[in-house]
Structure 1
Amino acid sequence: MTTVNRFTVVALSLTYALYFGQLGVINPYLGVFLDGRGFTSSEIGELFAVITLARIIGPSLWAGIADRTGKILLILRLGCALTVMSFIGVFWAYSFWYLTLTMGLMMMFWTAVLPQLEVLTLHTVEGDSKRYGRVRLWGSVGFIVLTVLVGQGLDFFATETPIYASMLVLSALFISTLALQQPGTMQRNTTQKGSIWRFLRHRVVMIFLLVNGLLQVSFGAYYGFFALYMRDLGYSGMETGLLIALGVVVEVGIFLIAQRLITRFGVWRLLMLCLLATGLRWWVLGTFADYFWLVFFSQFIHALSFGLNHSSSMQFIHHYFPSYIHGRIQAAYIGLAFGLGGALGNFAAGHLWKQGSGAFVTFTCASMCAIAGGLLLLLLKPEQMNQRHPLHQG
């Protein structure tokens, strides 16, 4: 690797750390922040659902522009800059709709960043899955550090702590993108045009997206209410932060060996394992959350729920589809699975939660969604996910 490439890989690692560091602030603690501003659990679920829907609009819009112009780095920087500008409004947004609009705009720009960052990274490391894993794991490191720091901060400061931390992290994220470089091999697509629907409507792809969508529906209770759940059960902010961080620590480990696991067992088998294990995880949280050690060990499953599932899904996308539409396919994956699936999960969890009295029902329904994803995956044969798309041209 040349000196320039080494510097770029370091800059990419820092960008991942900051991007997912922000995820470590907003995902666990947005519910605490909203609760501090007086919102009910139903309102929290609805707000989560509305802003999560922005994941459908943002990634697809920006990915289409990036794929056609080839200016992926410019789109990446613009997305980060607009994220910071839109997030500023949170400091003055106290009404439900004003805060929803502000957070929705921020989410639309912020979620558009990741598909471009993934494409940029895969091209920079020239398809080297092991090197990609090493770069990507810094996202987990950033998540861990920010989750623990903000969790501890909540023990000493007000529930507004997450938004001040977010402002700092998002500003640093934009600055880090200024150090990135776009590989000269990345060019705009001038020969392949039109909708990607012809790729998405294939049976294997539709089941893949539905399975991941169900998995993200199941995450609604965890992302929206885990920190509040732990607080109501008497756990400190520091303990909650460490529990969340533990899940990501084991996720880092799985990223380091994910490629070997994918090579040995294949995408289908690993996705099935992730879905069934996640179902067990939510059932334990809903049933035995009073027992610290059971919650502690259930967090180890996060290595499968997110880490291995994400690596396997990325491998499927990178291998199954032609490279010229990777950006738009990843945007569709994030928009439909994380966006639509996440929004449905947030909305349902908010209405089932009932200020904490519905925790068991909420996590039981989450468990059933993950298991349903596993049952749906049975409609495919393992070898079907190791082939290439019928429209793949090279």
Structure 2
Amino acid sequence: MWKEVFSVNKKHLALLFLVAFLTMLGFGIIIPILSLFADELGASSFQIGVLFASYNVMQLIFAPLWGALSDRIGRKPLIAFGLFGFSITFILFGLADSYVEMLVYRILGGIVSAAALPTVNAMVADLFPPEERAKGMGVVGAGIGLSFVFGPVIGGLLSGYGFAAPFFASGGVAFLTFIVILFALPESLPKEKRTSSRQKEKANPFSALFGSLSLLYGILFIVSFAFSGLETTFALYINDLYGFTSKDLGYMFLIMGIISALVQGGMIGRLVKRLGEPRVLTLGLCLYGIGFFTIPISGNFWALSLVLSLFGAGQGMIRATATAMITQRTTIGQGVTTGAISSMDSLGRILGPLVGGAIYAFSYSGPFLLGGVLMIIVLLWFRTRYHRLPEQQKQA
């Protein structure tokens, strides 16, 4: 019987890997193009920043709300809704001929797409027992990592046909994924396990952030904050100091993305079985800290690529294990929980670029040194307070 269940879950996980990959592939495709498209329509640098921030703000607000709804009505409807909305809003964005239209579609896109990826993680939590959950989260994370390897490359190639082309491609990929979900993805949350309307108040979408698991949510926020500051300033840093081009940067992030996908897809399960989630999370934070502190002393392409590889490996360890640890211990619905996780990531991606950019104006190395210091603080915080986390919940 257990072999049968595991086999079904493996097939389910393969579909979730595909969904995560295709969803974030569409997002990755537009990464190199969004700023240039907005600039072509006359947007200022501040307005372009607002375009990026507005999407993340909507994700921050709506991911827990959609997650709570998925606990009540099931996962599949929310994933399908999120991807269909993603498809429509990205196609409309490609058709936009003014900044105001861009901003409206970007806001709507942030609202609807917030229903998709957190709910995929909730599906993993539904399907896999606590001891297998980090492995499941790692496989989904590998799909996301690979999408950011191939997405920007595809987007760059498609931009030769006009800045709108990548957005049409992203919308098309999202619609394809929507069709796959409708016909191939089974529901993971049986009706008897769903929360009722009476339980809705107890499962407050934002209360999770301030409860007994705030340590783990805080770690995910700080890691996202620090890495977003790096993403914002690293291209400027390698150009200002060493004259590297965007092409060089693309190759560096390609190496990082491949390593991140390999770690999440192939190593997380084995590492967790051997060391346990807390030690793997600690190792990931250590790799991040080393990476931040060694950027200022790395002065050539291969050294910088090696440093980014540390982030690629560390990212897989941190996200998969922290997410697994939260979902193992939560006492509210998995949809609410994964939505709250997504909100912490979004909040970090809102604040990190603002702080990183401001510090970079005073010191080229400042954002990276800040990231290193934050990793030391997080490590000490985690090691001294981990024993206060609640016990794992029994798998229902």
TM-score, L = length of structure 2: 0.81
Structure 1: gaps (5+ residues) = none
One-letter amino acid of the structure 2 residue matched with residue 105 of structure 1 = L
Residue 55 of structure 2 is matched in structure 1 by: 51
One-letter amino acid of the structure 2 residue matched with residue 189 of structure 1 = T
In structure 2, what is the Cα distance between the partners aligned to 1:41 and 1:167?
Answer: 25
**SS, match of residue 217 in structure 1:** helix
One-letter amino acid of the structure 1 residue matched with residue 94 of structure 2 = F
Call closer, same or farther: CA 1:280–1:23 in 2, change over 3 Å. farther
In structure 1, what is the Cα distance between the partners aligned to 2:342 and 2:93?
Answer: 24
Residue 364 of structure 1 is matched in structure 2 by: 369
One-letter amino acid of the structure 2 residue matched with residue 147 of structure 1 = P
**SS, match of residue 365 in structure 2:** helix
Q: What is the identity percentage for the equivalent residue pairs of Structure 1 and Structure 2?
A: 22
One-letter amino acid of the structure 2 residue matched with residue 280 of structure 1 = I
2:353 is the alignment partner of 1:346:
yes
Structure 2: gaps (5+ residues) = none
One-letter amino acid of the structure 2 residue matched with residue 87 of structure 1 = F
One-letter amino acid of the structure 1 residue matched with residue 122 of structure 2 = V
In structure 1, what is the Cα distance between the partners aligned to 2:237 and 2:299?
Answer: 10
Residue 75 of structure 2 is matched in structure 1 by: 72
One-letter amino acid of the structure 2 residue matched with residue 146 of structure 1 = G
In structure 1, what is the Cα distance between the partners aligned to 2:232 and 2:120?
Answer: 26
Call closer, same or farther: CA 1:227–1:21 in 2, change over 3 Å. farther
Alignment counterpart, residue 309 of structure 1, candidates 305, 308, 318: 318
Matches within 5 A, 1:1-394: 1=4, 8-27=12-31, 30-31=34-35, 33-34=37-38, 39=43, 41-69=45-73, 71-93=74-96, 98-124=101-127, 128-129=132-133, 130=135, 133-134=138-139, 136-151=141-156, 162-178=166-182, 179-183=184-188, 185=190, 187-190=193-196, 192-196=199-203, 199-202=208-211, 204-226=212-234, 234-255=243-264, 256-285=266-295, 287=296, 291-322=300-331, 325-335=333-343, 337-353=344-360, 359-381=364-386, 383-385=387-389, 387-388=391-392
Does the aligned pair in 2 maintain the 1:352–1:362 contact within 8 Å? yes
In structure 2, what is the Cα distance between the partners aligned to 1:270 and 1:157?
Answer: 44
Tell me the matched-pair count: 383
In structure 1, what is the Cα distance between the partners aligned to 2:230 and 2:98?
Answer: 25
Does the aligned pair in 1 maintain the 2:228–2:352 contact within 8 Å? yes
**SS, match of residue 219 in structure 1:** helix
In structure 2, what is the Cα distance between the partners aligned to 1:226 and 1:95?
Answer: 30
Call closer, same or farther: CA 1:32–1:214 in 2, change over 3 Å. farther
Does the aligned pair in 2 maintain the 1:48–1:346 contact within 8 Å? no
TM-score, L = length of structure 1: 0.81
Does the aligned pair in 2 maintain the 1:93–1:99 contact within 8 Å? yes
Call closer, same or farther: CA 1:111–1:305 in 2, change over 3 Å. farther
| Deviation larger for 265-274 or 249-258 | 265-274
Does the aligned pair in 1 maintain the 2:230–2:367 contact within 8 Å? no
